[in-house]
């Protein structure tokens, strides 16, 4: 029973797990805000947090149990502290906080709280067959016609799409806040830049009501524009929309290569 020094490795484990928790819960939202250039914090999803915590705890426990020495050191924290005041303090803290934590979890688990509504993730629909073959009638037009169409399209975009999708096509129009499923930010390279023009045509023409049943979360406020806009106008809007957002539509050739 050679107890040469007091080991704090259990305290270390607790502290490091708490640090990981703090990083994921508090710091990560700000880091991702900066990395992704958003103007709001990006809270870590709770399921992700859960898995990271399970990983962190398992990892630290695996670490302390890699050798008998480490394991013995780890457990030795619970042994009588003797004259070590600091250790005694930590032991008290641990002994008090664990039952309290358990009690709090049981309380918060059983108290009839208000469940948070489940918010489904956006499930991108697949382009319907009838739209798949559609071609922009101005795709092969001469440069002057194209430029004219883009200009007309930009005017139409500003008149019809701007209230929600914004003057800059950044999904931040004056109405954007009212829709909990926010209007799409077209300047984001992950949105209209990843689809072919026919896809945009379908979305504008049929809107939210025309989405297939599989595309969650069923909250799209996108109007079906077929009631007031002609097909030609919609194609022009698409050209204007891509120009306003400063992105290119995905080309059909690319799709065939895949």
Partner 1 sequence: MSKIKYNLIFRSFFICLMAAVFAVMSLCEDSAHAAQLFRVYKKDVSGKIPETSDAIAAGKKLYEIKCYYCHGIKGDGNGSDAPRLDPKPRNFTRDEYKIRSTGQGVLPTDEDLFRIISSGVEGSAMPFWNTLTPEERWQVIYYIKTFNSEFKEKGERSEVSLGGGSASSADSIKRGKKLFKEARCVLCHGEDGRGDGALTTTLKKQWDLPFKARDLTHSWMFKGGNTEEDVYRTVTTGLNETPMGSYADYLTDEDRWHLSHYVKSISHDMQTDVVLKSRLVDGNLPSGPEDDAWGTIEAVELPLAGQIVASPRFWTPSANSVRIKSFYNKENIAFLIEWDDRTNEQAETYSDAVAIQFPTKIPEGLKKPYFAMGDSGNGVELLHWKAFDESILTAQGADDIETETDGGEDLEEEETYDDDAGDDEVATEAEQEEVVVAEAAKEEFKGFFKIKEMNAKGFKRLSVQPDNSQNSLGKGHWKNGKWQVMITRPIFTADKKLDVQFEKGKLIPYALAVWDGSNSEIKGQKAISSWYYLTLEMTTPKTVYVYALVAVFMAVCIQFWVVARIRRFPTEIPSK
In the window 186-215, what residues touch partner 1 (CB under 8 A)?
A: 187, 207-209
167 belongs to the binding site for partner 1 (CB under 8 A): yes
Selected from 36, 83, 85, 107, the binder of partner 1 by CB under 8 A is 107
12 belongs to the binding site for partner 1 (CB under 8 A): no
Selected from 8, 9, 28, 73, the binder of partner 1 by CB under 8 A is 73
Q: How many CB atoms neighbour CB 198 within 10 A?
A: 20
Selected from 6, 16, 21, 252, the binder of partner 1 by CB under 8 A is 21
Q: What residues from 215 to 254 belong to the interface with partner 1 (CB under 8 A)? A: 216-219, 221, 223, 227-228
By C-beta, is 172 or 198 nearer to partner 1? 172
Minimum separation from the CB atom of position 185 to partner 1 (A): 11
Q: Which of 194, 191, 201 is nearest to 135 (CA)?
A: 201
By C-beta, is 110 or 140 nearer to partner 1? 110
The residues near 7 (Cβ < 8 Å, ≥ 6 apart) are 73, 74, 76, 77
Residue whose token pair is 């640090």: 19
Selected from 114, 143, 144, 257, the binder of partner 1 by CB under 8 A is 114
Check residue 178 and report its DSSP letter.
Answer: G
Minimum separation from the CB atom of position 134 to partner 1 (A): 23
In the chain, the N- to C-terminal Cα span, in Å, equals: 67
By C-beta, is 33 or 127 nearer to partner 1? 33
Helices within 23-176 (DSSP H only): 28-35, 46-64, 68-76, 85-110, 129-132, 143-160, 162-165
Q: What token pair was written down for 109?
A: 């688990």
């Amino acid at each position: 029973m050679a107890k040469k020094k007091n080991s704090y490795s259990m305290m270390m484990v607790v502290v490091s797990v708490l640090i990981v928790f703090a990083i994921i819960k508090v710091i990560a939202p700000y880091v991702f805000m900066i990395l992704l250039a958003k103007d709001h914090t990006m809270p870590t999803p709770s399921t992700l947090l859960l898995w990271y915590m399970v990983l962190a705890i398992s990892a630290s426990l695996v670490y302390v149990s890699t050798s008998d020495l480490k394991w013995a050191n780890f457990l030795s924290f619970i042994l009588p502290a003797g004259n070590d005041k600091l250790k005694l303090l930590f032991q008290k803290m641990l002994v008090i906080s664990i039952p309290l934590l358990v009690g709090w979890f049981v309380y918060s688990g059983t108290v009839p709280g208000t469940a948070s509504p489940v918010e489904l993730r956006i499930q991108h629909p697949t382009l319907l067959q009838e739209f798949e073959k559609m071609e922009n009638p101005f795709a092969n037009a001469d440069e002057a016609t194209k430029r004219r169409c883009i200009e007309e399209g930009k005017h139409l975009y500003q008149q019809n799409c701007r209230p929600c999708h914004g003057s800059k096509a950044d999904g931040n129009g004056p109405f954007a806040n009212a829709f909990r499923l926010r209007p799409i930010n077209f300047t984001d390279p992950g949105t209209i830049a990843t689809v072919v023009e026919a896809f945009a045509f379908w979305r504008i023409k049929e809107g939210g009501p025309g989405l297939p049943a599989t595309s969650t979360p069923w909250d799209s406020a996108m109007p079906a524009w077929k009631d007031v806009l002609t097909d030609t106008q919609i194609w022009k809007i698409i050209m204007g929309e891509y120009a306003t957002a400063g992105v290119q539509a995905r080309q059909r050739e690319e799709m065939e290569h895949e």
